[in-house]
Structure 1
C-alpha cells in the first residue's frame, strides 16, 4: 500500500520488466556470439582447406613443369646453393675468365625475365643458348653469365640484384661485383616478423652489435572471449605498435657509418615497415627464420647471404 502511494510499485514493475528484457537480450547476445564463433570456426576451416588445395595445386603444377622439362629436355644441368668461401671461389673463377673484346655477356635479368632486356641482347643470348634461353626466365631475377662460344652459361641469384644501366653488356670478362653476393663492408641486417625484431650490425661476416626484442602480439585466430573481428582489430593494433618499435630501433641503433641496410623476414611485414618508416634498404628478402631473436637473426643472415647457381 505504501509502495503504491509513493509510486514505488510502478517503478518496481518497470525494473522487473527491464531485468527480464536484459536477460532476454543477454541470452540473444550469447546465442549470437555462439553463432559468430561457429561461423568464424567454419571460415577458418574453409580457409585451411583452401590453403591445402592451393598447396596441392602448386605441387601438381611443379610436377607438371618438371615433366614438361624432362619431355623437352630443357632442365638445368646443375643447381647449387652457395655461400661463404665456396661462393667466393665461384665468383673469383667467373671473374678470372678472359675472352675476346666482346666475348663475355653479363646480363641483369629482373623479375620480368628476358622480356625486360633490350632486343639485341636477348637475341644474342638466344644465339648462344638456343632454346635453353627459356631457363633464364625460370631463374629470374638473376645475373646471367654466358660466353660467345657456349662454354660458359650460368645464372646466379644473389641477394642483391643491382639496378644499373645498361642492364646487359658484352666485354672481355664477366662484370660481377662481389658485394652483390658476399657480405662485404659495414652493413646492417634487420629481421622483422609480426612479433619479433632483431638487428645486427656487421663488418663483413662478423656481427659487431646486436639489438633484439619480442612483442606481445596475439595469434592469428581468436581462441574465445572476443569476436573474430574485434580480435583481428586488436592484433592489427599490436602489430602496428610493434612496427613502430622496430622503426625506432632502426633509427636509434643503425650508426651513420653503416654502408648498406638489408631488411628481411615476413614479406608483408617487411614491405609495411619499409614503406611506413620511409626506409631505403639496399635489399629485402623473405626468409623463414623463427625462434628467439638472436638465433633467428643468425639463421636469417645465413639464408640471406646464400646464392643459387644454375648451370644452364
Structure 2
C-alpha cells in the first residue's frame, strides 16, 4: 500500500512539474493574436517601407517564438507520456481470476456477509453503455476511492458492465464482470454490500442459443440452465490452413481457403436456422464466441430479432466436454484492485 501511495505521489509531482504547459499554451494564443495584428498593420502601412520592414521583422520574431513554444510543448508532452507509462506499469491488479457458475453463489454470499459499523461500504453497478462515464460517477458518488483503484477500473474491458464492491478503509476492493449485462447503473453507500443486483442478474432464468464459430469447426446449441446443452450440433468442414509463402501460389491458395470458409459458413447458417425454427423454448439471447467476426458473418442472413451478445472466452470445442463452453460463458471475471 505504501508503494502504491508513493507511485501516486510521484505522479502528482510529475503533473505539478509540467504544469507550465498551460502557460505555454496561453502564450501561444497571445503570439497568434499578435501575429494577426502585425499582419493587419503591415497591410495598412505597406506604402511606408520603414514601417513595413519593422512589422515584418516583428512578425518573423513572433513566428520564431511561436515555433519554439510549440517544440517545447511537444517535448514536455512526450516526456509526460513516458512518465505516465512508467507509473502505469507499476500499478497492476492484485488478482484476476474466473469465478465459475458453481463458485459464484459462495462468492456473493461472502461479500454479503461483510459488515461495517458505519456507511463505508460502496456498491456500484455500471452498465456497458455507461462504462465510459464511470469517471463522472466516481467523482459524484465515490470520492473516497483511491486514485490507483480508479486507474485500474478504467483499464477493465467488458461487454456486460461491471460491479464494484469497495470498502473506504481499503480492506475490500473487488470488481466483478458479470456473465450477463446489468439493466441499469447505480451507486450506494451502506454498512453492507448490496449484492442483490449481481445475484439476481446471474441467477435469472434465460434461454440462450450459443454459436462458437471457428473456420472448419463450429458449435451451435441451446441451453436453459447455464450448465449444459439441451440440444447441440458440431458442424465440421474441410478448410485449408493459412498459407505462409508469397506469390501467385499464395493468392490462389487464399482464394481456395476463402471458398472453403464460405462453404463452412453456409453449412453452419443452415443448421442454425433449422435449430432456431424448431426450438422448443423461446430464445432470449444469442451468445457468440470464438471467431466473432466469422460468427457475425454466419448471422448476416438469419432473420431474427434475438439480442446478440459477444463473449471473449476460450471457446475451444472439446469433443468429450462441449458443455465446458457453457461454463466459460457463464463464468464471471473477478478483479482484486
TM norm structure 1: 0.63
> Among 258, 266, 271, which residue is 2:296 paired with?
271
Q: 1:107 aligns with which of 122, 125, 139?
A: 125
Partner of 2:232: 210
Residue of structure 2 equivalent to 1:157: 177
The CA distance in 2 between the partners of 1:96 and 1:188, in whole Å, is 35
Retained in 1: the 8 A contact 2:123–2:163? yes
Give the 3-state SS of the residue equivalent to 1:297 in structure 2. Answer: coil
Residues in 1 aligned to 2:269 and 2:84: alpha-carbon distance in whole angstroms: 42
Q: Classify 1:105/1:159 alpha carbon distance in 2 versus 1 (closer, same or farther; 3 Å).
A: same
Mapping 1:8-87, distance limit 5 Å: 68=87, 71=90, 74-87=91-104
In the TM superposition, residue 302 of structure 1 has moved relative to its aligned partner by 3.0
The answer as to whether partners of 1:196 and 1:214 remain within 8 angstroms in 2 is yes
CA contact (8 A) 1:125 1:133 kept: no
TM-superposed CA distance for 1:245, in Å, is: 2.0
Conserved in 1, the CA contact under 8 Å of 2:235 and 2:268? no
Cα gap change, 1:272 to 1:94, in 2 (>3 Å):
farther
How far the C-alpha of 1:219 sits from its partner, in A, is: 1.5
User: 3-state DSSP class of the match of 2:168?
Assistant: coil
**Quick one: which of 107, 123, 135 aligns to 1:90?**
107
1:124 to 137, 141, 147: 141
Deviation of the 1:144 alpha carbon: 2.9
Farther off after superposition, 275-284 or 200-209: 275-284
Tell me, in whole angstroms, the C-alpha distance in 2 between the residues paired with 1:112 and 1:227: 49
1:49-106 Cα shifts (integer Å, max 9, x gaps): xxxxxxxxxxxxxxx99984674xx433333321032122112443566788996432
Cα distance, 1:65–1:216 mapped onto 2, change above 3 Å: farther
Contact residue 122 and residue 164 of structure 2 kept, 8 A: yes
**By how many angstroms is 1:107 displaced?**
2.7
Say yes or no: does 1:260 pair with 2:293: no
Take 2:307 and 2:242, find their aligned partners in 1: how far apart are those partners?
Answer: 28
Q: Name the CA distance, whole Å, in 1 between partners of 2:208 and 2:251.
A: 41
Partner of 1:229: 251
Q: Does 1:188 align with 2:209?
A: yes
Shift of 1:296: 6.8
Gaps in structure 1 of 5+ consecutive residues? 1-63
C-alpha distance in 1, partners of 2:242/2:89?
A: 41
Residues 118-139 of structure 1 deviation map (CA, whole Å, 9 limit, x = unaligned): 7244443342334321111122
Matched, 1:304 2:324: no
CA 1:121/1:186 → structure 2, altered by over 3 Å: closer, same or farther? Answer: same
- SS for the counterpart of 1:91 is helix
Tell me what 1:169 maps to: 187
User: For residues 66 and 216 of structure 1, what CA distance do their matches in structure 2 show?
Assistant: 46
2:219 to 192, 198, 202: 198
Is the deviation greater in 178-187 or in 243-252?
A: 178-187
**Structure 2: where are the runs of 5+ without partners?**
1-82
How many residue pairs get matched?
243
Residue 208 of structure 2 contacts residue 223 of structure 2 at CA under 8 Å; is this kept in 1?
A: yes
- From 268, 272, 296, give the equivalent of 1:250: 272
**2:309 aligned to which of 252, 270, 283:** 283
